[in-house]
Structures are given as C-alpha cells and as structure tokens.
C-alpha cells in the first residue's frame, strides 16, 4: 500500500510541475487601485488555497450554526 501512495504522490507532483512549466505567462490582476502581475500558475494555486480556506471556514460556521439551532435549551 505504501508504494501505491508513493506512486500517487509522484504522479500528482509531476502533474503540478507540468502545469507550472506550461503556464509561465504573466497575468495582471486588478482590484480598485491595486494591481498585481504574476504567473498564471501561481494565481491558480493561490485561488485554490483561498478557496480551501474560505470553504472550510464556511463549513465550520454552518456546522456550528446547525449544532446551535438543534441544541435543546436548558
């Protein structure tokens, strides 16, 4: 089983590196008066991590809201 996990890590790492190499062109992102120029691959990875962060925060908030709504009053 350990070799399967190592194989999966190698394949995923290779795919990420291939994505990074193929997306070296720069893009400019603007918000209000701020602008940021960075490679497409870094932008995608950054947005992915922001999505994970906000998604987990939203899920945690919903869980606590549901738990509080279903709790019996003392």
Return the pLDDT at 74.
Answer: 64
DSSP for 31-67 reads ETTEEEEEEHHHHHHHHHHHHHHHHHHHHHHHHHHHH
User: DSSP assignment, residue 71?
Assistant: S
Assign residue 71 a region: left if phi > 0, alpha if psi is -120 to 50, beta otherwise? Answer: beta
The yes-or-no verdict on residue 65 having pLDDT over 90 is no
10-52 pLDDT, tens digit each:
998 898 888 888 878 888 989 898 898 988 888 888 888 888 8
Higher pLDDT, 69 or 3: 3
Cα dihedral 52, 56, 57, 63 in deg (nearest 10): 160
Question: What's residue 24's pLDDT?
Answer: 80
Q: Is the pLDDT of residue 73 over 80?
A: no
Residue 64 pLDDT > 90, yes or no?
no
């Amino acid at each position: 089983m350990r070799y399967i996990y190592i194989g999966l890590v190698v394949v995923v790492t290779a795919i990420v590196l291939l994505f990074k190499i193929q997306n070296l062109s720069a893009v400019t992102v603007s918000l209000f008066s701020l602008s940021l120029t960075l490679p497409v691959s870094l932008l995608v990875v950054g947005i992915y991590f922001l999505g994970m962060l906000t998604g987990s925060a939203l899920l945690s908030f919903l869980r606590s809201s549901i738990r509080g709504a279903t709790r019996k009053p003392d």
